[in-house]
Amino acid sequence: MLDAEELTSAYILPRKDGERLYLDLFAKGEYRPELLFGECAIAQAAVASPEAQWKLANLKKMKR
């Protein structure tokens, strides 16, 4: 069985620069799904995601 550190490293932490950049930008309120999916229909659909829009709105409220 994987311990917590191995599990986190293997499945949760970003592995690629694009993933890390995506998470950093998202935390700042900038949503760039094309960093994960490339320029495709999935990225376009992700932009319209109500869940992502809700999270972005809440992140903006939290900014000081």
pLDDT digits (tens, 9 = 90+) for 11-60: 777 788 888 999 899 988 899 999 999 999 999 999 999 999 999 999 88
Per-residue confidence band for 61, with pLDDT thresholds at 50, 70 and 90 = confident
What is the total count of domains within the chain?
Answer: 1
Instruction: For 43, list phi and psi in degrees, rounded to 5.
Output: -65, -40
Amino acid at 21: L
pLDDT value of position 10: 76
Helices (H), the chain: 4-7, 17-27, 34-37, 41-47, 50-62
Q: Which residue has the higher pLDDT, 63 or 33?
A: 33
22 burial via Cβ count (<10 Å: 0-12, 13-18, 19+): buried
Q: Which domain holds residue 28?
A: 4-62
